[in-house]
Each structure stands twice: as C-alpha cells, then as structure tokens.
Structure 1
Amino acid sequence: MVTIPTTITSSAAGFQPAFKPVTTRDRHACALASVAIIAGTTLEEVWKKAEELGLPKTGPYNHVIDGDFLAALFAKYSLVATVWKECTKVSQLPDCCVALVGYDADWEVGRHVVVHRAKASHDAKMVIYAIDPTAAKPEQQVRTDLEALAPAWYIGVHSMGKAPTTSAKK
C-alpha cells in the first residue's frame, strides 16, 4: 500500500523531496506523471493502468482524464482522490494533492503538478513544494515558489483506509 510521507529529509542547506520526480514532454501526460510521482511508480506503469481504465492509445486525452478517471487510477495504487476543488491561495491546498497550474478558464485546461506539505526532519518546520513533471528546466522541476505557479484547482490524495491530513488553512 502506498503511503503519503509526513516528513521529508532536510538539513539547514535544503531538503530532498519525499517523492521521486517523474518527467514527461507529452503535454497531455502531466496528469499521469503526477499519479506516477505520488504512487512511486513509473510513467509507463501508470499508462498501462490508465489504458486498462479506457484511456485511448493516442491523445488528446483531456476529455478522458477528469476527476473520476484520476480517482479510479489512484485507487489502483490504494490511494483515494477527492473531487476537483477550486483554490485561491496555496494555504488552501491539502498536504498532498495534484494541482492545476497555468489554468485557462476559457478552455478549462492547465498543467498538473504534485504539491506536498510535510515536516522537515532537521527542524520540524513545514515545507511545501511542488514537483512539475513538465518543467522546461531541471531547476524548475522541484520548486517552493508555489505562489508563482498559482494553483487554481486541486485534487487531494491520501492513502486508503486513512483519513486525509491537512495543515491547510481555509
């Protein structure tokens, strides 16, 4: 069973993300890459499971990859996903989620990133960061400037059989 880490390895110089980044250059695969990041598996494995759930072999996929589809895909990894929820501030995000950034309200599309909030191991302060599977530059793949990413919507994720934890403030 996949569990969501509540602590990340850190030192005074910085931190290591609790999740291993997964990258993609396919602009339609950022949602699947986000699932792979949280599930701790490969993008290829997630593609297989997504195709088992009815994802077509070729895109575009945005008409298929909706909240229900992502919930079913996360369930394959013993993870529970909430419905899409709108947010206006980073502080509203749960401890682990897939957030939609670069959102275009007219087209109802954006880029999926993983947002994780956890305690740092060296001083127990909370660290919130995002892993961007489609980052143009390697140094932007793991980032802490979430306000610059401007998340507009999110789907919370937690382990099955476990109540979601959150440090978010409404």
Structure 2
Amino acid sequence: MTAVIPTIVTSSTAGFQPAFKPVTTKDRHICSLAAIATIASTNIEDVWKRAEELGLPKVGPFYHLIDEHLITALFAKYSWVATVWKESEKPSQLPDLCIALVDYDADWEVGRYVVFHRAKCSHDEKTVEYIIDPTAIRQELVIRTDITTLAPAWYIGVHPMNKTSSPGKK
C-alpha cells in the first residue's frame, strides 16, 4: 500500500468519514502501536511483530523503549517518515497528520497517543480537524473533533516517504 496523506475526507452535512480506519485497543500501554497501525493501515499484531524485529522485547517491560527512535523506525517500515517530538500549545500548531500526546503528565513525561488529521470536507470547502483515540473509554470518543479539550502537548509529524529512483548507468 502506498503511503499518502488524504487531503479530503468523505463528508455530508450530517458529518464525515475519517480517512483512516481506527485501530483500537483496551491495553493502555500500546496506544502508540495502535496509532502507528491506524496510519499504516494495518493491525496491532503486525506493528508488534515489526517492533520486535527492531528490538522491542517479546516479554517484560517495554513501554520505556517506545521512543521517537522506535516510532521513526516503525513508520519507515510502512513507507512513512516520522519527525522528532515537537511541543505544541494549540491544535493550529499541529501538522496535517501526526501522532500526538494528550493527557500529558510533564512530571512522568507520559501521555496517551492519538492520531491527529486535518483535511478538507468533500461536500464543501470547510476543513475538519479530528483525533482518532485508540484507547478511548467509549466508542463514541474514538473519533473526536473536540480537539481543544484534549490539548495535544507533544507531537511527531508523519508524511509519506519519498521514493527515490535507482541511479542510471553511467
């Protein structure tokens, strides 16, 4: 599957259909992997497998190992480029596609990973900003447009990897 950031979401006056199919989990410790799976259009099991190939242990504690280096390497496996962590004070500072930390605790340096996407609606020229929350406690909270109440504190931007052509013969 080719990596591409959707710029338009299917919509009507009644609402919109997110461009990414949410991958959800009840395990609060793998929300990062679920966010990656959502953008990569795969499942958590596949992301787990690739994370283990990159050094994530199969058993034992792992949460502290899910850092920007692992996240970047995982996205690369799916033909996406991930940036470094950047601070955010408001949703307008977020790129069109990213994973963000919400409910951030600065003392512990932890938060909940969500997918943020900004795109134009198909039925008019309005822009919709929404979050896909892989560990939402209720189904109706998985896809949310009330972004300011979630206050993303940090984010990693995500964009498709540029494919380079092989060099020609000299």
Same fold (TM over 0.5): yes
Structure number, greater radius of gyration? 2
Matches within 5 A, 1:89-168: 89-161=90-162
| Alpha-carbon distance in 1 for matches of 2:131, 2:12 | 18
| Alpha-carbon distance in 1 for matches of 2:130, 2:15 | 12
- Give TM-score, length-normalised by structure 2: 0.93
Q: Which runs of 4+ in 1 moved over 2 A?
A: 58-62
Matches within 5 A, 1:1-170: 1-161=2-162
- The alignment partner of 2:103 has SS state of strand
Higher helix share: 2
| 1:48-69, Cα deviation, whole Å (9 max, x unpaired) | 1111111112353232110111
Q: Which runs of 5+ in 1 are unaligned?
A: 163-170
User: Once the 2 structures are TM-superposed, how far is the Cα of residue 26 of structure 1 from its aligned partner?
Assistant: 1.1
| 1:85-144, Cα deviation, whole Å (9 max, x unpaired) | 000001000000000000000100000000000010000211000000000000000000
- The alignment partner of 2:51 has SS state of helix
Instruction: Provide the alpha-carbon RMSD of the alignment.
Output: 1.0
Number of corresponding residues = 162
- The alignment partner of 1:28 has SS state of helix
| Alpha-carbon distance in 1 for matches of 2:142, 2:3 | 22
